[in-house]
Amino acid sequence: MGYKHIIFDVDGTLLDTERCVLNSLQETIRVLQHREVEFSDLLFALGIPGEVTLKKLGVEDTTAGNKVWNSLFKKHFGSVKLFDGIVPLLDALKEKGYKLGIITSKNPVEFANDFEPFGITHYFDTIICVTDAPRPKPSPDPMLAYLAKTGIDKHEAIYIGDSPYDMYCAQSAGVDFGLAVWGCRAKEPIDADYYFDMPEDIKRL
């Protein structure tokens, strides 16, 4: 294994944002398109960039639509929380000397608004947002950007996320993938190198 860097996704891995994402997206479509969409038809949105989601839902001006969504996200932000066990995990990993990173589909403004309020940004040495790579997850580009920025070999990193987009991003770049089962809705289609039921399981690597 020989990992030096442990890289995390944000939504569904570090932060429990599902309820906030789906409620605000449902309301966004109500505002922009005057129609109701069931939660079950919005689950695809978990883990991909906002503008990609809106395009798939038929929103033509995705930049303006994303501004509406971000505004409504703030309205529902009170339901977002860190998953139990994340802070003790990060403390333990830093104590063991690992470099910690983030690869997220959020843009820098979304990352600042949605992640930084939880006070754990200081744990992470390298952060790759969606704007730091030519193409978003599931493309390998964000992972390749991380490897280039840190100068490490692909075998020295493991990426931990909750979705197929995370899996494809890691594996297409030749990086091992660990599934955050605690935040994953559909475990079966995901072929991970490791399956972590709870954050504390990562400490056993």
Backbone angles phi, psi at 107, to 5 degrees: -85, 170
Question: May I ask the CATH class of domain 5-16+80-204?
Answer: alpha beta
pLDDT exceeds 80 at position 188:
no
Contacts of 38 (CB under 8 A, 6+ apart): none
Query: Mean pLDDT over residues 118-141, rounded?
Result: 97
| pLDDT band at residue 187 under the 50/70/90 scheme | low
Which pLDDT value is given to residue 47? 76
Question: Both tokens of residue 98?
Answer: 């690992």
Which pLDDT value is given to residue 185? 77
Q: Whole-model pTM?
A: 0.90
Query: Mean pLDDT over residues 76-89, rounded?
Result: 96
Give residue limits of the domains in the chain: 5-16+80-204, 18-79
pLDDT exceeds 90 at position 204:
no
Which pLDDT value is given to residue 49? 85
Question: Both tokens of residue 67?
Answer: 């501004």
Query: Mean pLDDT over residues 167-186, rounded?
Result: 94
Which pLDDT value is given to residue 65? 96
pLDDT tens per residue across span 112-125 = 999 999 999 999 99
DSSP state of 161: E
Query: Mean pLDDT over residues 152-177, rounded?
Result: 97
Buried residues in 67-99 as b, exposed as e (16+ CB within 10 A): ebbbebbeebeeebeebeebbebbeebbeeebb
CB atoms within 10 A of CB 119: 10
Query: Mean pLDDT over residues 60-77, rounded?
Result: 94
pLDDT tens per residue across span 21-51 = 999 999 999 999 999 999 999 998 887 889 9
Q: DSSP 3-state assignment of 185?
A: coil
Which pLDDT value is given to residue 186? 67
